[in-house]
Structure 1
Amino acid sequence: MTAVSEETGTVGRPVAVVPPGERGATRIADRVVTKIATQAAREALAPLPAGAAAPHATVVVHHETVRVRVHVDLGYPCDIGARCAVVRRHVTERVGTLVDMAVREVAVQVERLHLAPAPGAAHGRTA
């Protein structure tokens, strides 16, 4: 039940005062959720390997639930499963906290692996 009180308006007539939580709804645009998911993936992978593309995300929002697909480049060698798990956890936590929606799925798609230079390897061209 909505509690409505009356106050006197500027013309002396009573005005209904609706509590702040019941005045309306806030809708967060899908593109905002996408930007938050992308930033969260970037945070989870920092620092990015040399030559790697920045992560990007796509989201589907349906009835206050979110499904996310994140595309990433990883340095190699690494534990690919563990790196993806870190991204998944961080994106779930950040999106869920910042937009107050249930994150049902975070799929991490590894687009490219970037080989790390071997220690002591020559850089550039050698004669």
Structure 2
Amino acid sequence: MAGEEGGSAAVAAGERGATVIADRVVAKIAAQAAREALERVPPGGSAPHATVVVHHDSARVRISLELDYPSDIGRQCGAVRHRVTERVGALAGMDVPEVSVFVERLHSAHSRGAGEGRTR
């Protein structure tokens, strides 16, 4: 074979090195995926935030988010889980066995308008 004539045989995949993706990069992918899954960020609310623990080719994800109220909270959390699993798998090549979604705050039209008109 032409590659082996000069003594340079093909290097096995396990000996070439590895690609390491930092936890913070995976967290940014997960947070963006959560934003994509939500219909919108509530007025006055914060965008989703993610923390990730990566072990080998597996990522455990925790998403914190704020939602409008009233809304179908279960459906939105399910959509976030699905989208995060899909995007982290596609972009980082990692298995995502766990996506924990924490709803930090619910924003209602009533609570948004409660502070308006009050004076001291």
TM superposition score category, shorter chain reference: 0.7 to 0.9
Larger fraction in strand: 1
TM-score by length of 2: 0.82
Distance, in Å, in 2 between the alignment partners of 1:21 and 1:46 is 42
SS at match of 1:16: coil
Higher relative contact order (CA 8 A, sep 6+): 2
* Structure 2 alignment gaps of length 5 or more: none
Distance, in Å, in 1 between the alignment partners of 2:27 and 2:106 is 23
* Structure 1 alignment gaps of length 5 or more: 8-13
Equivalent of residue 111 in structure 1, options 98, 104, 113: 104
Equivalent of residue 84 in structure 1, options 49, 70, 77: 77
Once the two structures are TM-superposed, the CA of residue 19 in structure 1 deviates from its matched residue by: 6.0
Give the paired residue count: 114
Give identity over the alignment, percent.
Answer: 57
Shift in CA distance, 76/4, structure 1 to aligned 2, threshold 3 Å: farther
Stretches (4+) displaced over 2 A: 3-7, 17-24
Q: Which moved more, 1:42-51 or 1:75-84?
A: 42-51
SS at match of 2:87: helix
Distance, in Å, in 2 between the alignment partners of 1:80 and 1:27 is 35
TM-score by length of 1: 0.77
Q: Kindly indicate whether residue 58 of structure 2 is the aligned counterpart of residue 58 of structure 1.
A: no
Q: How does 1:25-40 map to 2 (within 5 A)?
A: 25-40=18-33
